[in-house]
Amino acid sequence: MEELERSARALVAPGKGILAADESSGTIKKRFDSIGVESTEENRRAYREMLFTTRGMEEFISGVILFDETIRQSNADGVPFTKLLDGAGVISGIKVDTGAKPLAGFPGETVTEGLDGLRDRLAEHHELGARFTKWRAVITIGEGIPTQTCIDANAEGLARFAALSQEAGLVPIVEPETLMDGDHTIDRHYDATRRTLEALFDRLFAHRVDLAGTLLKTNMVLSGKSAPEQAGVEEVARWTLRVLRETVPAALPGIVFLSGGQTDEAATAHLSEMNRIGDVPWELSFSYGRALQAPALKAWGGKPGNLEAGSGSYTPDMERAA
Ligand code: 13P
The pLDDT of residue 310: 86
pLDDT in tens, the chain (322 residues): 899 999 999 999 999 999 999 999 999 999 999 999 999 999 999 999 999 999 999 999 999 999 999 999 999 999 999 999 999 999 999 999 999 999 999 999 999 999 999 999 999 999 999 999 999 999 999 999 999 999 999 999 999 999 999 999 999 999 999 999 999 999 999 999 999 999 999 999 999 999 999 999 999 999 999 999 999 999 999 999 999 999 999 999 999 999 999 999 999 999 999 999 999 999 999 999 999 999 999 999 999 999 888 886 655 555 443 3
Nearest CA to ligand 1 atom 5: 289
Mutate to test the pocket of ligand 1, among 11, 288, 297 (most ligand atoms within 8 A of CB): 288
Q: Whose CA is nearest to atom 8 of ligand 1?
A: 20
Count of domains forming the chain: 1
Phi-psi region of 149 (alpha: psi -120 to 50; beta: other; left: phi over 0): alpha
Answer yes or no: is 319 within a domain: no
| 106 occurs within a structural domain | yes
Cβ–ligand 1 distance for 19 under 6 Å, the answer no
Measured from the Cα of 288, ligand 1's closest atom is 2
Distance (Å) from CA 77 to ligand 1 centroid: 29
Asked whether residue 144 is domain-assigned, the answer is yes
Q: What CATH number does the domain containing 67 carry?
A: 3.20.20.70
Measured from the CB, is residue 288 less than 6 Å from ligand 1? yes
Per DSSP, the three-state class of 98 is coil
Q: Is 191 helix (H, G, I), strand (E, B) or coil?
A: helix
Residue-wise pLDDT tens digits, 20-55: 999 999 999 999 999 999 999 999 999 999 999 999
- Percent helix, strand and coil across the chain, each rounded to 5? 50, 15, 35
Q: The pTM is what?
A: 0.95
> Does some domain include residue 60?
yes
Q: Which domain holds residue 304?
A: 2-310
Residue 289 within any structural domain of the chain = yes
Q: Is the CB of 289 under 6 A from ligand 1?
A: yes
Q: Which amino acid is at 85?
A: L
Ligand 1 pocket residue status of 291, Cβ below 6 Å = yes
